[in-house]
């Protein structure tokens, strides 16, 4: 299967830098999952799965908005994975200034939203808004601005 149409090589490079830094901080290893799994990475230590992570990169600073939104479909997939495996599934976000994470099981607000700049009907729908102040900051952004 092809990768999603909006996931460029540059996106994958940024995602890789973020997950590598995260794994370094927590002394974990990672394995990229196929996009059919709907979550980006499995995390493991000594061949034992530790949890799962969805990585998002943003081009603005963490405190620009009060919430971080993600499609409700992604939240449903993450929560289902957590329920079935009994393991944590994290949303790891790299903003322009810092990197932080939140567990997908945290409370959120539901709204209609998404991207309108690509004129793609699949970019708009039901989204979950996680409060920014609930994210645990774990370091500075490993991504150089403009890259």
Helix (H) or strand (E) holding 45: strand 41-45
Residue 143 lies in a domain: no
Give residue for tokens 């990197």.
99
Give percent above pLDDT 90 in the chain.
Answer: 71
pLDDT at 11: 79
Residue 124 lies in a domain: yes
Contacts 24+ apart (CB under 8 A), 36-40: 36/1, 38/73, 38/74, 38/77, 38/78, 39/77, 39/78, 39/81, 39/89, 40/15
58 phi/psi in degrees, rounded to 5: -125, 150
Residue 1 has pLDDT above 50, yes or no: no
Residue 3 lies in a domain: no
DSSP 110: E
Residue 1 lies in a domain: no
Residue 95 has pLDDT above 60, yes or no: yes
Rounded distance between C-alpha atoms, residue 52 and residue 40, angstroms: 8
Tokens of 110: 């539901």
Q: What is the mean pLDDT of residues 10-23?
A: 91
Domain span at 42: 9-137
3-state secondary structure of 98: strand
Residue 2 lies in a domain: no
pLDDT at 147: 47
CB–CB of 96/59 below 8 Å?
A: yes
Residue 4 lies in a domain: no
Give percent above pLDDT 70 in the chain.
Answer: 85
- Look at the chain and report how many structural domains it folds into: 1
Nearest Cα residue to 102 out of 84, 80, 128: 128
115 phi/psi in degrees, rounded to 5: -100, 140
CATH number at residue 18: 3.40.1350.10
Residue 88 lies in a domain: yes
Of 12-16, 23-27, 77-81, 129-133, which gets the smallest average pLDDT?
A: 12-16
Residue 58 lies in a domain: yes
pLDDT in tens, 28-83: 999 999 989 999 999 999 989 999 999 999 999 999 999 999 999 999 999 999 99
pLDDT at 115: 54
């Amino acid at each position: 299967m092809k990768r999603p149409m909006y996931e460029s090589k540059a996106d994958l490079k940024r995602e890789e830098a973020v997950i590598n830094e995260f794994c370094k901080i927590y002394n974990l290893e990672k394995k990229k999952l196929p996009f059919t799994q709907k979550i980006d990475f499995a995390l493991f230590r000594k061949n034992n799965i530790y949890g799962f992570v969805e990585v998002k990169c943003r081009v603005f600073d963490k405190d620009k908005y009060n919430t971080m939104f993600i499609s409700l479909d992604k939240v449903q997939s993450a929560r289902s994975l957590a329920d079935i495996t009994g393991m944590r599934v994290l949303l790891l976000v790299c903003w322009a200034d810092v990197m932080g994470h939140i567990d997908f099981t945290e409370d959120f607000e539901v709204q209609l939203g998404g991207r309108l700049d690509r004129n793609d009907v699949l970019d708009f729908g039901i989204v979950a808004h996680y409060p920014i102040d609930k994210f645990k900051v774990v370091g500075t952004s490993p991504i150089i601005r403009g890259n």
